[in-house]
Structures are given as structure tokens and as C-alpha cells.
A and B are shown apart, each in its own frame.
Chain A
Amino acid sequence: MDIFTTEIIKDSLVALGDEMFNAMVRTSMSPIIYETTDFAVGATDAKGNLLAQGNGVTAFLATLDTAVQSCLEHYPNPGDIEPGDVIITNSPYHGGGTHLSDVVIILPVFFEGELVAFTVNKAHWTEVGGAQPGSVSTCATEIYQEGLHFKFLKLYNSGEINQSLVGLIEANVRLPESTLGDMHAGVAAARVGAKRIEELIKKYNKSQVLYAMDELLDYGERMTQAELLKLPQGEYQAESVVEEDGLGNGPFTIRVKVTIADGRMKVDYTGTDPQAEGPINCSYTGLVTGARCLFKAVTNSDIPANGGCFRALDIICPPGTVVSAQSPAPVSLYYEPLIAAIDVMWQALAPVVPDRLPAGHQRSVGATFISGEHPDNGELFVMGEPLVGGWGASAGQDGDSGQFCCANGETFNIPAELFENRYGVQIQQYAFHNEDGGAGEFRGGKGVVLDYEVTADVAYLTYAASQTVTRPWAMQGGQQGSNNYALILRKDGSEERHHMCTTVPVEKGEVIRLYTGTGGGFGEPSRRPAEKVVADIKNGYITAEQAQRDYGFEPQQEGFSG
């Protein structure tokens, strides 16, 4: 076999990920897909091994191959899946599962009657029905309240769309046009990938393409092995909590033991607390995603992910924990325990991989939803967005300020000028705050404070965060970071603090103030050179009082204070 032909086929397979990613952005009608890029696309071989993936967010890494693998378990016999079939699933408790809003579309690719590959994507649909608009709440007690649940259903049978299923979806969601638009976008993107695979086989022949697929997986394994061998062998442990489940229960502890030995990494979550009554549960397949995410960060963040990269990773967790929840646990806020699961693994490994892992970050999506009637035109608006916060400091560098959390990635904040046009809210500040936290030889990155003044007659706030009581962890004597939380500044001058809430009314002229955590510090603050402390004061990154208390420094000069 000519090695360069194999190389070109491999590159074409990897490029598939990007092509399907673009196709999805081009066809989708939902801002959560084309702006927050809350989706992933990919292709697997006929057995469900991930060949290539295009992601907008890290937290969807490798949810696609497990979805295909579960699909093959549902349709185990030859002839169960036929050319022209399209399968739809959003089951949180099976492969690829996260929460019901994330819907997976699977398209089998056949060549001359033989199943050769799958193309697959997973995207956050704006609406899948359920008790709350947007299908996310902090108060569900069973999955049945969180929306429609598809378990590996055929959306297409041999090329024919299943009209009964489409009709069922249409009748059960609040924004049917956008929901069905998202569905068609998923099918269109999967078809783009399938067409490219067929073209590749026509151009190079089947055996050469199938060989290149195997080679690609082996390449991923080799690249990962090379990195894994550079990591220090040993056993590392950590634990952290998700404070509450939205119903007043908690905290829930997540524990991990990471073992690196003999070219393998074992991640064991045994000892994690049982699943919660409220919706902060994550299923085992969600946990797999999280563990793979951090595994990728410490092995090789450069090469495109494929199934071969994860052959050396074992993930263990007994069923029924808050990160391996069983039916019918509600899961709409699954991303908070998922991020906590990433975070404990991160915390366990950071001391031994300090060049790749900084101290703890804000560790929460900080998802905020505000809805109401737009004062300009009386139309309903629904704003949903994640928040940026502070990342931890690392050996040699201060933390990054105002960045989305580790589960996000190519995610963009909404400019204030667009925001005010679209929603009944005026933004009064979007700035770094000076809450205590993050001091160190290297300083944690700054969290932000956001003021939303309501201009609609009344608006409704739904907010969910973790690390609202506990703080981002520090390293080597640094100071912990600060908390995520929301305040409502009422007209009567009172302040209400929220960590998890659903549709709380806020009146015109009242302010929703959101704080995101500052990241953890690295090293003793007293070791920070005086000139850096002087610069921090001048820049307003720390106050004179913090300089004195945390760094033992007498300030002489401040920046401009008008």
C-alpha cells in the first residue's frame, strides 16, 4: 500500500470533521448551534470507532462513537440497519448521552451493500419540550419532566422519513419550526460526510480506504502512547463537590483515583456520592466524555481526536452515582457534575503535569436564561448564555481572565450592543471584579461581574452554577479563587443571592448582577516580585488592601482613580 495515498485518505477523513462542522453551521437556524457552537460532528468506522470529529465545545469530545456503539447494540443483526436509514437518539443513559436537549443523528454509510462507516452528530436543540421553556430547569425530579426522549428510533427508513415521529415531535415542542430545522440540519450535515466517504472510496477503492481508517486509529494510539510514557507513573487522588441539586439537597462529593502505569491511565470514580433527586446528574457516558477530555489535555492537545487516542484509557465508576446516574434521574444540568468530574481529575494530575494544567478555574458554565417581553415590540425574548470567568494560574504564568469554562471552547459571548437590541435588558457593566481570591506568586485570572438592568416590565431569571460555596483550588501555597453567584438588586435596596433558581421575576429597573469566579493562585503570594504587585495595583487587578493583606505589600502608587 502506498503510504502517501494512505496519508491523504487519513487527512481527508480528518477533514470530514471540519466539513460537516461547517455544514452544520451553515444549515442550522439556532443561535445556540451557530454562535455557542454547542454541537459536534464526526465519523466512525463500521464498528463505531471514532475516525474524526469536529467540535465547537470540548464537552462533546467522543460522545459520538459511544452513541454509534450503543446503536449497534440496539440493532445487532445484519439487516437491522439498511441503506437510507437515519437513527435519532438523545437517551442520556446510553452511549452518547448527556441531556435530552442534545440530540444525536446517526447515518450509516454503505458501499455496494456493505456497511463501511457511520457519520454522526450531536447538537443542542433549542427546545425538546418538557415542563420548562428551553427544556432546562433546576427543579425537575424525573427525566419525564425534561422533554421528549428518543431511544435509537429510525427517523428515516430506507430513505423514507418517518412522518409519525416528525408529527410527534412537532406537537410536543414549543418552537416546532426551529426544532425541526435543527433536526434537518443534523441530517444534512451527516449526509455531507457520507457523500465524502463514498467519494473517497470511489476514488481510491474500498480496501484502501478501510485500511487508512485502521491506520488512522493506530496513528492516534501511537501519538498518545508517546505522550503517555512521558507522564510520571503513579497514583493520584482528588475530590470536590457540586454544592446543590436545585431542590436544596447537597453537597455531592465526586472522588477520583487516577493511576498511570504500564502505558495506560485508569480513572476510578468509585466513592462518588449517589445520584441526586434534582437535575444535577450525569450519566456514565457523560462521564466518559469528561474523562477523555482531560486525558486529551494531558496527552496531546494537538492532534485531531480519534478512537485510537483513547485505547489506553480505562474509566471506572459504579452505577447510580451523581456521575453515573440511572433512569429516571433528571439530568438537564448534567454539565455541572461533568465539569466537576473533569475538575477532580485535573486537580489530581496538575501537581505532576504542571506544564499542561493550571490551578482550578471558575468550573461552571454559569448558564443564565432571561426571558420576558421586549419593550420595543412586545415580542417574547428568551436569552440563554454561558458566562466567562477566571482560569487558574500555572507555574510561570498568571491565569487567563474572562474565558469560558473547560466544557466550552469555541464559544463566543454576545456583544452588549447586539444583546441590548435583541433582549429587554441594558448592560451596565461587563468588567473584572475585585472579590478576594486567586493571590499567588502567579495570580489566578480574573472573574467578571455583569450587570443586567431589566428594561422589560418584568423579566424572569433562570440561573444554575456550582462552585458557589467552595472555591477554585490553588496550587503550591497559592490562594483559592472566588465564587460564582447571582444577585438580584431589588428596587427597595435589598439584595437576593441565588445559586440555582428557575424563572424568578425581576421588575423593570431592577438589576441582575452575575459574578463569576476568579481562578486559583499558584505559589505563595509572598514570592510574587514587588514590581509585579506594583503593576497589579496600578492595573487595578488587586486592591491596595489585598496587596497589604495577601502579599504583605505596602502600596505606594496606584493607577488612575477618577
Chain B
Amino acid sequence: MRAASDVGGTFTDLVYYNYDETTGESGQVSVAKADTTPPNFEQGVLNAIHKAGINPEALGFFAHGSTVIINALTERKGVKTALITTRGFRDVLEIARGNRPDLFNFNFRKPKPFVERYLRLELPERVNHKGELQQEVDLSELPKMIDYLKSEGVEAIAISFLHAYLNSENETKTVTAVRGLWPEVSILASSDISREWREYERSNTTVLSAYVHPIAKKYIESLQEKLAKGGFKQQPYMMQSNGGIATVNSAKNNPITMVESGPASGIFAAAYLGKKIDEPNLIVLDIGGTTAKCALIENAEVKVTTEYYIERDEKSPGYPIQTPVSEIVEIGNGGGSIAWTDEGGKLHVGPQSAGAMPGPAAYGRGGNKPTTTDSNLILGRIDKNCFVGGEVEPDMAAVEQAFAPIMETLDIGLEEAARGVVRIANANMTNALRLVSTNKGYDPRDFALLAFGGGGAMHAVALAEELKVPRVIVPVNSSVFSAWGMLLTDLRRDYLQTQPMSLNAESSSAIKERFEQLKQRAVEDYRQDQVGDQQELVFEHLADLRYQGQEHTVKIALPCDKDGCIDLDAAVETFHQAHLKRFTYRLDADVQLVNFHLVAKVEVPKPEIARKTIHGKTLEETLLHKRTVDFDQHGCHESCVYDGLALEPGMSFHGPAIIQEPSATLVISPGHRAEVDDYGNYIIHLQQAEQ
């Protein structure tokens, strides 16, 4: 048995399947849910395991993702943390980058640093920009500093020296000395957290990782203990933001790598499915209750970036985290997003959400604000008799009441208001989808739109019309797609190293040597974690490249043979092409390698995607009923409503139609053609693309 769990804000999900170690055959994937149990989240995990009827002894593999890290950060529940920097630079953490995104707000304040100034200390030391040790760190003040930090109740220390990404000697020396003086304290050096330049970003990342370090350690250890008590014989793996899993040991050492472990798994599931069904280029959309997340997958590869921020929006610079995270754009638009009008009489949708409590007005739990879900009910897109899987009878009186202020302000009827809300919600999501596609030089016509999450199926076709995407793919059981993704990840470590050098024949041996060093680190790290000894390590060679004199870099996969020899001419040409796509021009200038990026993976067996059984039903037999659905610009139509779980591979029909599953509704406007593939996924071919 193999299983994975994801601790969300409300529910803890568990996905699992039978796996025969000897034959390598896998069974059907199943899902179980339990309530999330703060503050002892591991209890919810065990409850879910119990609910699924799994004996932990039978588990051969268990992966775990949680929001513990991001919650500790956003709720400021970490420990009191200190920072030690190069003399002259302790204020970098507070100055940050000096920008004011909220341009005309002259009363703007930057977000407060996670370490107050009195806990930001300095040591005399210096490494220069070439990585040469200019001044050895002077530790004579350190004992006094440690006494001071102890007396202030500090529990974690971050160390971040200038240019430590090139030379970590002074940092390492300082860590060793601190450990000698104060063995119990959590201590993290920037060179162990990130090997990229930009001192503010690296320092902040180290600080945030230290801030959650004791919490993560405690959480992981109590999970290990509880699982062991239940009879689990192995060690669990932790989900990371780079889409891979890590050993508990590695996760404990640098907990910030777990900051975005939730959203990534859905995106990786999309990439995996895309590979299976021969759709390597995807625009991915996950619509939940409060937000919509978008990502772009090219050649079945999810893009990973280290330019990641928390709490960043149009008004706030947020906090940078220089750790590998899947490239995702998230906007405040989901099923529960609230519609409202401003003083100028303009209708907006989101970013405020009715959340799970009280939820949309139709839930009848006291929600008195109109939401996107309420609008879809009014328009007949959601089945009133099958609302929330048939568990809730929608409170239409409450819905009408919630819409009254908008109807009054804009002097319009209920249906018109609902159409307006959906249209504006769609416009918001279209803008987000443009951010990951057209704004980065991609033409949506070369992609398929893969949509999942509670609201993905509802809006996908309308969004595809707007973006001119030729096909929409909605996976069967799309509401639990993300959870399924957790079973599809490999052990993965990303090694980034800033070391600018020319990309030409002269530096080819230096480049090879650099990658060799990174590989040695990977082998050593996996060896320490006691994995990878017998298993095969798989490497990917990536690099961030730029034109000499320019700032923008583009990440490319370096063409590489089995011995790790890089084809430089091919690499340069790949870069020119990628740059042309991303920035619209290519230059005749020298190409510079800025960051080495090695991905080291240990592949993990994955469940087969089961083919859907054909019982030979007719399409009519899967018809649930007919009802009138409002397709906005496409008009109101009497539409066939099909039972998604009953549809069989090979079936095909045209909109206007609805495909209904217990927790998802796929809206197909007139003219588009829907078909069911071998796995039961729904593929919608858009009319304009078919002509």
C-alpha cells in the first residue's frame, strides 16, 4: 500500500492505492477525508488513515504535505529569531528593495522584517565578489552576542554574510562556533539555504527558514512518532514546493522548502496526465473556493522558479523566498468570491471570499453577500437538486436577498446581475491566464487548457473561448485531482549556484567541473539521508543564462550527454530561441551563465492511470435530465445533463450540454464538441478550432 496526505485549512485528504512490490502492479486510487485538527495536525492524518481502513503496518510508502510552514509564517507563529550579518549590512533586511508598489499611497509602509533591529547583529568579515576571502570572520565578540541573544529569549539564529553563495567559509566557521556555545539553538546559514546572489532575498529566506525551524522539527518528529506508534515501519517523505518529495531529515534542515507544498501537487498531476494523454503543452487552471491558480506547462515540464514571494500583491512588495517553487500565478477569484459595487457604480468580484463559513448565500448558513457560486446557481449551471453533491438544498431566497443591493445600484434584474458577476469573474481569470501565457511570449493557440478544482470545470470553456485555446481537458474526478498529484512525485533536490561565467568553449571545462561539484553534493546529501545508495540518481542540467551586460536571465535545460558533457553550441542556440520568445529579440552579444541549476531526482513508482471500463451503455442511458441553462452571450438553452461518472470512453456530443459529477459541473456552451477519452477524462473541442 502506498499513500499520501495533504493537510488543508478545512480537510485533511488522503489518497492511496495498492502496490505490489514484486510485480510492480498498482490498483485503483482511492480517497479519504478527515477534518483538519489544529494544532495537532498529525492527528487528522491518522484519523484519515483510520477512516480509509488502512493498517499503517501495510504502508510501504507515505508522503505528506502540509500548510504548517506557510501558516506559521502568515500567522506570525514562528519563534523569536536573530540575524547575524556582515558588518555594515544588518539593515538590508529592513531596507529591502526600497520599492513602493502602491505608487500614489504616500502613507505607505513596507512590511515589517521578521527580525527586529535589536536582534540583528554584525560580525567583521568579508568575502569579495569573486569569492575570495578578504577578511576571516572575527569571532571574539561571539560569546558576548550569544549571552545577549539567550537573555532576549531567542530560539533561532540565521547567519547571512555577503557573497556567501560563492564562499561559505566564514558562515560555516560561525555556525560551528555558535553550536559550540549554544547547542540547543536552531541555527541556519544562508549558504545552506540558498546559493544564489541578492543579499536581501537570501537573508530573508534564511531568516524565514530559521523562524519556522523549531516548529517544523517538532511537527515532523511528532508525525514520525505517531505513525511509528501505529505500526508504520518506514520514514515518511515530505512534500516540497519544487514538486518533489524530501526525506524528513532534509525537510527538517531547511523547512522553507515546504512553503508551497499544496498547490504544486495539482500542477504536477497535470504534467503527468498531459504526458499520458499526449498533451505536453498545457495551460493549467485550478479554481478553488477563494482563489484561482494558473500555471503553464511546456513540453510536459513544470517551470520552477526561485523568484517566489509571500504576501505580495499590487500594494505590497511582500517577502521574497529564494527557494525552488513551481511557477504559479494565484488570484483572489474562486467559487466563494464576493461580488460588490464601488462608489462609482462599478461591479467587482473578489478578492474577498465568503470562505467555508458562512460560504455562499445559497448554503443558507448566514452568508448575505452574492458570490460566483450563487450566480452559477441562478443561471441554472449548477443543478439546484444536486448542490454540493446533493447534500445541501440551496436557499434561493437568501440568494435573491444577497443580490438585492447590486440589482438596486445597477438597476438590473437577478439573471442579468448573475451574468454580470460570472462575466467579471471570467475576465479576472482570463487576465491571470494571460499573465502565464501571452505575457511571457506564449500563444494560447498552441496549448490545451486543463482545468480542475471545485470550479475549474464550470468556467473552463468560457475562458478557452476568450483565450482562443483550441481544447479544454477536464480530468474525471477533477475536484480531488490535486490530492492524486501527491502520489506522482519523485524525490527531488534542486541545487542552484550563482557563479557568472561566459558560456563558450573556454569555460566548458569549468562548467562541467561546477556541475560535477553539485552532483557530488547531491550524492553526499542523498547518502546522508540513506536513499539513493542502491537507487539510481537522475540528473537534469539547467542554467539561468543572459546576454552579457543584461539583467534578465532565462532558464533553459542544457543539452547534455550521458557523461555530463554539455553541447555548448546547442545550449547557446536554445538560449537565443528562448530569449526571443520571452523578450521578443535576440542579440549578437556574448551569452553568460549566471546560475547553475542541477536537479537530482530519485524516481518513485507511480500508480497506473486506470482506463475506464466500457459497459456498452448508450449516451441516452447516461442522461440525467434536461434543464434550461443560461450561457450568457450564447443565450438560454434547454440542455442535456449527463452523468459524468456513467459516461464511457468514445462517447461524443455537442453543446449546449452539462456534464455533472457529484462535486463538479462542466458547462459546455452551444457548438463545442465534447468527448470522453480512454481514462474517462472530458475533452472539449472548441468550435472555432474545429472550423
From B98-106, B455-463, B665-673, give the one contacting chain A. Answer: B98-106
Question: Which chain B residues lie closer than 8 Å to A394 at the CB level?
Answer: 107
A interface footprint on B535-574 (CB within 8 Å = 1, 0 otherwise): 0000000000000001110000000000000000000000
Closest-by-CB residue of B relative to A537 is B118
B76-94 residues at the A interface, CB under 8 angstroms: 87-92, 94
Taking the closest CB of chain B, its distance from the CB of A219, in whole angstroms, is 5
Decide yes or no whether A420 CB sits under 8 A from chain B: yes
Decide yes or no whether B653 CB sits under 8 A from chain A: no
Task: Give Cα distance in the complex from A15 to B428, angstroms.
Answer: 10
Cβ-defined partner of A293 (8 Å) among B104, B128, B129, B162: B104
Task: Give Cα distance in the complex from A175 to B317, angstroms.
Answer: 33
Decide yes or no whether B114 CB sits under 8 A from chain A: no
A4-B424, A409-B101, A431-B90 are known contacts. Are A29 and B550 too (CB-CB below 8 A)?
yes
Decide yes or no whether B609 CB sits under 8 A from chain A: no
Task: Give Cα distance in the complex from A402 to B416, angstroms.
Answer: 49
Task: Give Cα distance in the complex from A409 to B343, angstroms.
Answer: 26
B interface footprint on A166-189 (CB within 8 Å = 1, 0 otherwise): 000000000000000100000010
Question: Which chain B residues lie closer than 8 Å to A358 at the CB level?
Answer: 106-107
Count of residues in A whose CB is under 8 Å from the partner chain: 80
Beta-carbon contact of A31 and B584 below 8 Å? no
Beta-carbon contact of B419 and A420 below 8 Å? no
Question: Which chain B residues lie closer than 8 Å to A559 at the CB level?
Answer: 117-118
Task: Give Cα distance in the complex from A541 to B90, angstroms.
Answer: 13
Question: Which chain B residues lie closer than 8 Å to A293 at the CB level?
Answer: 104
Beta-carbon contact of B100 and A408 below 8 Å? yes
Cβ-defined partner of A448 (8 Å) among B91, B97, B200, B427: B91
Decide yes or no whether B198 CB sits under 8 A from chain A: yes
Decide yes or no whether A401 CB sits under 8 A from chain B: yes
Closest-by-CB residue of B relative to A293 is B104
Decide yes or no whether A411 CB sits under 8 A from chain B: yes
Interface residue SS majority, chain A: mixed
Closest-by-CB residue of B relative to A399 is B109
Question: Which chain B residues lie closer than 8 Å to A327 at the CB level?
Answer: none
B92-149 residues at the A interface, CB under 8 angstroms: 92, 94-110, 116-118, 121-122, 128-130, 141, 144-145, 148
Cβ-defined partner of B104 (8 Å) among A19, A58, A188, A538: A58
A215-235 residues at the B interface, CB under 8 angstroms: 219-220, 222-223, 226
Decide yes or no whether A421 CB sits under 8 A from chain B: yes
A297-B104, A388-B98, A539-B116 are known contacts. Are A431 and B347 too (CB-CB below 8 A)?
no
Taking the closest CB of chain A, its distance from the CB of B566, in whole angstroms, is 23
Taking the closest CB of chain A, its distance from the CB of B132, in whole angstroms, is 12
Decide yes or no whether A562 CB sits under 8 A from chain B: yes
A560-B145, A560-B148 are known contacts. Are A26 and B118 too (CB-CB below 8 A)?
no
Task: Give Cα distance in the complex from A486 to B106, angstroms.
Answer: 26
Decide yes or no whether B505 CB sits under 8 A from chain A: no
Beta-carbon contact of A432 and B91 below 8 Å? yes
Question: Which chain B residues lie closer than 8 Å to A429 at the CB level?
Answer: 87-89
Question: Which chain B residues lie closer than 8 Å to A560 at the CB level?
Answer: 118, 121, 144-145, 148
Task: Give Cα distance in the complex from A481 to B144, angstroms.
Answer: 35
Decide yes or no whether A214 CB sits under 8 A from chain B: no
Beta-carbon contact of B118 and A31 below 8 Å? no
Task: Give Cα distance in the complex from A554 to B355, angstroms.
Answer: 51
Question: Which chain B residues lie closer than 8 Å to A226 at the CB level?
Answer: 343-344
Question: Which chain A residues lie closer than 8 Å to B552 at the CB level?
Answer: 34
A15-B431, A426-B128 are known contacts. Are A219 and B346 too (CB-CB below 8 A)?
yes
Decide yes or no whether B28 CB sits under 8 A from chain A: no
Taking the closest CB of chain B, its distance from the CB of A148, in whole angstroms, is 23
Decide yes or no whether B342 CB sits under 8 A from chain A: yes
Most buried by A among B95, B148, B410: B95
Beta-carbon contact of A4 and B419 below 8 Å? yes
Cβ-defined partner of A413 (8 Å) among B98, B410, B439, B500: B98
A402-438 residues at the B interface, CB under 8 angstroms: 402-404, 406, 408-413, 415-418, 420-421, 426-432
Decide yes or no whether A397 CB sits under 8 A from chain B: yes
Interface residue SS majority, chain B: loop
A356-B106, A410-B100, A415-B198 are known contacts. Are A539 and B118 too (CB-CB below 8 A)?
yes
Task: Give Cα distance in the complex from A35 to B550, angstroms.
Answer: 11
A interface footprint on B200-243 (CB within 8 Å = 1, 0 otherwise): 11000000000000000000000000000000000000000000
Taking the closest CB of chain B, its distance from the CB of A387, in whole angstroms, is 9
Task: Give Cα distance in the complex from A403 to B200, angstroms.
Answer: 15
Beta-carbon contact of A417 and B129 below 8 Å? yes
Taking the closest CB of chain A, its distance from the CB of B196, in whole angstroms, is 9
Decide yes or no whether A301 CB sits under 8 A from chain B: yes
B405-423 residues at the A interface, CB under 8 angstroms: 410, 412, 416, 419-420, 423
Task: Give Cα distance in the complex from A465 to B89, angstroms.
Answer: 24
A interface footprint on B495-524 (CB within 8 Å = 1, 0 otherwise): 000001000000000000000000000000
Question: Which chain B residues lie closer than 8 Å to A57 at the CB level?
Answer: 103
Cβ-defined partner of B197 (8 Å) among A11, A402, A418: A418
Beta-carbon contact of A400 and B344 below 8 Å? no
Task: Give Cα distance in the complex from A58 to B88, angstroms.
Answer: 31
Decide yes or no whether A459 CB sits under 8 A from chain B: no
Taking the closest CB of chain A, its distance from the CB of B408, in whole angstroms, is 14
Task: Give Cα distance in the complex from A562 to B141, angstroms.
Answer: 6
Question: Which chain A residues lie closer than 8 Å to B163 at the CB level?
Answer: 417, 420
Question: Which chain A residues lie closer than 8 Å to B145 at the CB level?
Answer: 560, 562
Decide yes or no whether B42 CB sits under 8 A from chain A: no
Beta-carbon contact of A402 and B91 below 8 Å? yes
Taking the closest CB of chain A, its distance from the CB of B678, in whole angstroms, is 37
Beta-carbon contact of B144 and A409 below 8 Å? no
Question: Which chain A residues lie closer than 8 Å to B128 at the CB level?
Answer: 420, 426
Question: Which chain B residues lie closer than 8 Å to A428 at the CB level?
Answer: 88
Closest-by-CB residue of B relative to A26 is B583
Question: Which chain A residues lie closer than 8 Å to B416 at the CB level?
Answer: 4
Closest-by-CB residue of A relative to B587 is A29
Decide yes or no whether B654 CB sits under 8 A from chain A: no
Question: Which chain B residues lie closer than 8 Å to A426 at the CB level?
Answer: 128-129
Task: Give Cα distance in the complex from A219 to B344, angstroms.
Answer: 6
Task: Give Cα distance in the complex from A35 to B552, angstroms.
Answer: 10
Task: Give Cα distance in the complex from A34 to B420, angstroms.
Answer: 37
Closest-by-CB residue of A relative to B144 is A562
Beta-carbon contact of A400 and B110 below 8 Å? yes
Question: Which chain A residues lie closer than 8 Å to B650 at the CB level?
Answer: none
Question: Which chain A residues lie closer than 8 Å to B198 at the CB level?
Answer: 415, 417-418
Decide yes or no whether B441 CB sits under 8 A from chain A: yes
Beta-carbon contact of B117 and A421 below 8 Å? no
Beta-carbon contact of A397 and B106 below 8 Å? no
Taking the closest CB of chain A, its distance from the CB of B577, in whole angstroms, is 15
Beta-carbon contact of B89 and A431 below 8 Å? yes
A188-B584, A403-B98, A429-B89 are known contacts. Are A301 and B118 too (CB-CB below 8 A)?
no
Task: Give Cα distance in the complex from A413 to B104, angstroms.
Answer: 19
A42-76 residues at the B interface, CB under 8 angstroms: 55, 57-58, 61
Beta-carbon contact of B129 and A27 below 8 Å? no
Q: B interface vs A, CB < 8 Å?
A: 87-92, 94-110, 116-118, 121-122, 128-130, 141, 144-145, 148, 162-163, 165, 197-201, 342-347, 410, 412, 416, 419-420, 423-424, 427, 431, 434, 439, 441, 500, 550-552, 582-585, 587
**Can you name 30 A-B pairs with beta carbons within 8 Å?**
A7-B424, A26-B441, A27-B585, A31-B551, A58-B103, A222-B344, A223-B344, A305-B104, A388-B98, A397-B107, A402-B95, A403-B98, A403-B99, A403-B100, A404-B99, A412-B97, A413-B97, A415-B198, A415-B199, A420-B128, A421-B500, A429-B89, A430-B92, A432-B94, A538-B118, A541-B117, A559-B117, A562-B121, A562-B122, A562-B141
Knowing that A7-B346, A411-B98 touch, tell me 18 more A-B residue pairs with CB under 8 angstroms: A4-B420, A7-B347, A12-B427, A15-B431, A19-B439, A34-B551, A35-B551, A301-B104, A358-B107, A397-B109, A400-B110, A408-B100, A409-B99, A410-B101, A413-B97, A426-B128, A535-B118, A539-B118
In the A-B complex, the 9 residue pairs with the closest CB atoms = A429-B88, A402-B95, A301-B104, A388-B98, A420-B129, A539-B117, A559-B118, A409-B103, A4-B420
